[in-house]
Structure formats: structure tokens, C-alpha cells
Amino acid sequence: MAWFALHLLNLLWAMAGTSTQTQSSCSVPSAEQPLVNGIQVLMENSVTNSSLPNPSILIAMNLAGAYNLETQKLLTYELMDSDTDDMTIGQLALTIMALTSSCRDSGDRVSILQKQMESWAPSSPNAQALTFYEPSLAILALCQKNPEATLPIAARFAKSLLANTSPFNTDTGAVATLALTCMYNKIPVGSEEGYKALFVQVLKNIVENISTRIKDDGIIGSIYSTGLAMQALSVTPEQPTTEWNCQETVDTILNEIEQGKFQNPMSIAQILPSLKDKTYLDVPYLSCSSDHEEQPTLPNEPSPAPTSASNITVTYTINNQLRGVDLLFNVTIDVSVKSGSVLLVVLEEAQRKNSMFKFETTMTSWGPMVSSINNIAENVNHKTYWQFLSGDTPLNEGVADYIPFDHEHITANFTQY
């Protein structure tokens, strides 16, 4: 009875919230809290001595309030020791934010990143939106550490975003919004009015584009871009043009978590801040007093999926119409794998049956990425990669997460971004 009354009260609160506030507010219902705790614990426990230290996980852990102080410490030390030489600008930016979130000094990393961004320029006016993702992270990190020196760099970045003609990308737009909102909030009084006007104009443009990606169920872009997009919409001074029901977004995401769609630690790192009502803009303001003392309430263990011994058949095509006139190929194979296997098992089975299907992977923050098939390798300079599709639809997960169904046709197509 008491629980019911409390629940009703929450509902009333939620309704009052949506009817009176302009900036949509939302929260995880207390009954759903164990689900969120569950993915947080999963993410924290993915940190091991051997893995590549993932700064996004440390940021998420610190924003949410870490449960596992041992892995929090381990990750902090690993990142303090990490070598900046073989990092991209995005990795450098995330490492700076991660160390800041653990109240650690980032050493000379800020000046290295600033140097790199001073000479940054988009490859062309029609460079793919994706190529702005890492520079956006860089502007965000620099804004948090040294806003005044970042102002001219951010202005140049904002202008090149405005001039860009390629199709909009939700993840990139979300990170760019966080970066430019940070800059907008830190323009010193009495500085040139032009900066403010520029940032507002670009933010308005991006937020309009994000608005067009809000679906009826609250998902923004795809389920895996929703976390970053929620952060963006909750901080930007420009309101979305489409009415955004944040509670609907939270409810849909909680449902997806329940369906097991957020098992990849990196996917958790990107959704968790929004579920804890935090954003990357909070990173410089964390207190770093020791976190949670009590252990979290976890969801009841889901009954293990029935382990059916049956096999499924997956049709797998590899297609290169791009590289090397004498190397073009388009071959298909049927492979049989245990039902419930991830796509990676299909690739391994294909490789075992026919050497033409040999492939290589590279380890990344999201897990193994297929870097090469049949000796044709992705290349950042050519902007080529192996895209995976089911029928004609690109997959929204990688080969180590995606679970094919019986008689599915998977294609790996060598293409450009």
C-alpha cells in the first residue's frame, strides 16, 4: 500500500513536471532503478588489468558515482600512465576529461591537444559529418580546461561545421552541441559579440537537425546515439523545434535495457550519464569524495536463455567493388552456427570453410572491429571501411554483439564514409 502511494506520487510528480516545465525533465522510476544499477555494475566490472583503458568508462563511472572503487582507481592509474603519442585527438580529449573526472591533473595533454587543434581543418566542405566527432570531443575537453585560449579554435571549428554540406549525423551533432554549449557558457563578459552570435547560430542549426531525429517512441537517431543526444538536448540554450518528451525517451531506453540491448560496456558508458541526470559538462565540477558506500540493488537475475542446441543457417556475402580493379569480388557462403551465436562466430566459421573469407579485427573501445577481409583493409586516409548489413539495412551493432537469426543474409560491403 505504501509502495503504491509512493508510486502514485511519483506519477503525479512526473505529470506536473511535463505540464509546467519548458525544458523537459525526466527521471528513472524507482522501481526501474535496479536495471540502471545492473548495467553500471556490468560496465564497472568490465574493467580489467589487461584491457585497453577506456576513458569513457571512467567518465561515466565518476558521473554516476562509482560502486567499484578498485576498478575506478585502476582505470585512473592506467590512464595517467597512458602514452599520448599513439592517441587520436578524440582519445586524448576523452583521457583529459576522464582524468579531470577523477580530480587528477592531465599534465601536458591539454597543451598537446591545443596544438593539434590549432592546425586542425576539415578535409573538405563535404567531409563526412563523422569526421567532426573527434574534433568535437577535443573542443569540449579544451573548453573545460582553458576556455579563453580555445575561443578562436572553437570559432573556426563552428564555422567549418556551418559550411559543411554532408548529411547530418546524430552522435556527432550531440557531441558538437556539448562542445559549443560549453564554449557559449564560458564566453567572457565584454568579449567580441560575434562569438556568441556564431555559437548560437550553429547550436540552433544542430539542435534543429537533432530534433528531426526524435522518433515517436522517444529514441533520438538510434538507441545507441540516444544517450549523447539526451545530454545535448538537456544542456543547449537552443530548444528543440520538435516537442521532446524526455520521460518517453527514458522509458523506451529502460525497456531496451531490459531487452538486453545495453551489454556492451561502451554502450553503457554513453547512456548512463543521461539516466543519472548528468552530462559531460558536469565533468569539471565533480567532488571526488569517496562514492557509494552501500552496494546497489540489482535486478533479479533474468532466467538464462534456454540453451537450444539447434543450429541456424546464415548466408554471408563479402563484396568489394571499390579497391583494386583485379581484386574485385562478390562471393557468398552459407554457414551453420549454433543458434544464439554472435556474428563473429559466423565470420570464423566462413573463414574455416573457405580461405577467401579470411578476416582480421582491431580492438577498439567498442570491441573488435573488422578491419580487413580477404586482404582488403580499411584505410582512414581513403575513408574506407567494411560496413555490415542485414539485407539492405546497416547493422547498428558490431560483430561481437550482433546475434543473427536463422536464414538471415549478412553482407560485408567495402565502402566509404
Interface residues toward ligand B12, by CB under 6 A: 88, 90-91, 94, 130, 133-134, 171-172, 222, 224-225, 228, 264, 267, 270, 364-370, 380, 385-388, 394-399, 401, 417
| Binding partner at 392 among ligand B12, ligand NAG, none, C-beta below 5 to 8 Å by kind | ligand NAG
Whether residue 40 contacts residue 257, with contact meaning beta carbons closer than 8 Å, is answered with no
Rounded Cα–Cα distance for residues 58 and 74 (Å): 10
Q: Closer to ligand B12 by CB, 94 or 151: give it.
A: 94
Q: Kind of pairing, strands 409-416 and 311-320? A: parallel
Least distance CB 62 / ligand B12 (angstroms): 18
Distance of CA 381 to the CA centre of its chain: 23
For CA atoms 268, 208, 393, 367, give the dihedral sign. negative
Q: Which of 21, 48, 354, 364 binds ligand NAG (CB under 6 A)?
A: 48
Edge-to-edge, what's the strand order for the sheet holding 329-338? Answer: 329-338, 311-320, 409-416, 384-390, 393-394
Q: Which of 84, 116, 160, 205 binds ligand NAG (CB under 6 A)?
A: 205
| Binding partner at 407 among ligand NAG, ligand B12, none, C-beta below 5 to 8 Å by kind | none
Least distance CB 329 / ligand B12 (angstroms): 17
Return the C-alpha cell found at 57: 568508462
Q: Which of 185, 330, 364, 375 binds ligand NAG (CB under 6 A)?
A: 330
Rounded Cα–Cα distance for residues 89 and 66 (Å): 26
* Interface segment toward ligand NAG; rule CB under 6 A; list 29-37, 68-76, 77-85, 363-371: 68-76
Phi and psi at 225, nearest 5°, equal -105, -10
Does 382 participate in binding ligand NAG (rule CB under 6 A)? Answer: no
Does 338 participate in binding ligand NAG (rule CB under 6 A)? Answer: yes
Least distance CB 332 / ligand NAG (angstroms): 5
Does 362 participate in binding ligand NAG (rule CB under 6 A)? Answer: no
Does 71 participate in binding ligand NAG (rule CB under 6 A)? Answer: yes
For residue 258, the one-letter residue type is E
Q: For cell 546497416, name the residue.
A: 394
Does 349 participate in binding ligand NAG (rule CB under 6 A)? Answer: yes
Does 172 participate in binding ligand NAG (rule CB under 6 A)? Answer: no
Q: Which of 297, 332, 364, 379 binds ligand NAG (CB under 6 A)?
A: 332
DSSP state of 400: T
Does 311 participate in binding ligand NAG (rule CB under 6 A)? Answer: yes
Rounded Cα–Cα distance for residues 340 and 347 (Å): 14
| Binding partner at 314 among ligand NAG, ligand B12, none, C-beta below 5 to 8 Å by kind | none
Return the C-alpha cell found at 176: 558538437
**Terminal-to-terminal C-alpha distance of the chain:** 56
Return the C-alpha cell found at 59: 567518465
Binding string, 131-170, against ligand NAG, x = CB under 6 A?
A: ------------------------------------xx--
Q: For cell 559579440, name the residue.
A: 193
Bridge partners for 403 per DSSP: none
Rounded Cα–Cα distance for residues 112 and 175 (Å): 21
Binding string, 222-241, against ligand NAG, x = CB under 6 A?
A: --------------------
Provide the angle, in degrees to the nearest 10, between the axes of the packed helices 265-275 and 55-64: 30
Considering CB under 6 A, how many residues would be counted as binding ligand NAG? 27
Return the C-alpha cell found at 393: 539495412
* Interface segment toward ligand NAG; rule CB under 6 A; list 109-117, 132-140, 273-281, 341-349: 341-349
For residue 217, the one-letter residue type is D
- Residue of 63, 41, 25 whose CA lies nearest to 249: 25
Least distance CB 204 / ligand NAG (angstroms): 8
Q: Which of 160, 209, 222, 252 binds ligand NAG (CB under 6 A)?
A: 209
Q: Which of 371, 377, 415, 417 binds ligand NAG (CB under 6 A)?
A: 415
